[in-house]
Amino acid sequence: MNLTQKNHKNQELKNAIKIVWQISGVLSILILLILFFVDENLILSKMPTCEYQKIGKECFLCGSTRAFIEIKNMNFEKAWSLNKFSFFIFGALFINAILCLKTIIKKYINTKL
């Protein structure tokens, strides 16, 4: 494989990673918009029961939805007791959403200039 082919493959990989990141960024934005603008009771009523809970166990994501709602309500102690991992996930979603919005706004501004 020559250098041109390697560069082409690397560019394809970069483009694929960028597309996956953009999709995850849009999903992060949607999750946060739903969390902040949809009624909590509606969110909780639409969430399915975890398959592990049906057999009496818990997975590492159990309680995350309720914990996200508590984080949004600034009730950090309650969120921590529901799912300690939710702080990391919420932070990652928030940072990803901000970076995605920044990229979208930057592209929009560049196309207008």
Task: Write out pLDDT tens, residues 3-41.
Answer: 677 777 788 999 999 999 999 999 999 999 999 999 999
Residue 61 has pLDDT above 90, yes or no: no
Please give the pLDDT value at position 38: 96
Band (pLDDT 50/70/90 cuts) for residue 59 is: confident
Domain boundaries, the chain: 3-112
Q: Which conformational region is residue 106 in: left (phi greater than 0), alpha (psi within -120 to 50 degrees), or beta?
A: alpha
Helices marked H in 1-113 — which ranges? Answer: 3-37, 40-46, 51-54, 64-72, 76-82, 86-112
The model's pTM is 0.80
Residue 66 has pLDDT above 90, yes or no: yes
